[in-house]
Structure 1
Amino acid sequence: MQRYDIGGGHKWSCSFSKASSRTLFFSNGGHGLRRNAQERIAELKSLGLSRQVALETESQELGHFRAEITEVYLR
Structure 2
Amino acid sequence: MKIYFYTGPHCSLCDLADVEIARTSMSSSLTIEKINIRQSTELYHLYGARIPVLKRDDNNKEIGWPFTTADLEEFLQ
TM superposition score normalised by structure 2: 0.28
Structure with more strand by fraction: 2
Structure possessing the higher radius of gyration over alpha carbons: 1
Higher relative contact order at CA 8 Å, sep ≥6: structure 1 or structure 2? 2
Query: What TM-score results when the alignment is normalised by the length of structure 1?
Result: 0.28
Structure with the higher helix share, 1 or 2: 1
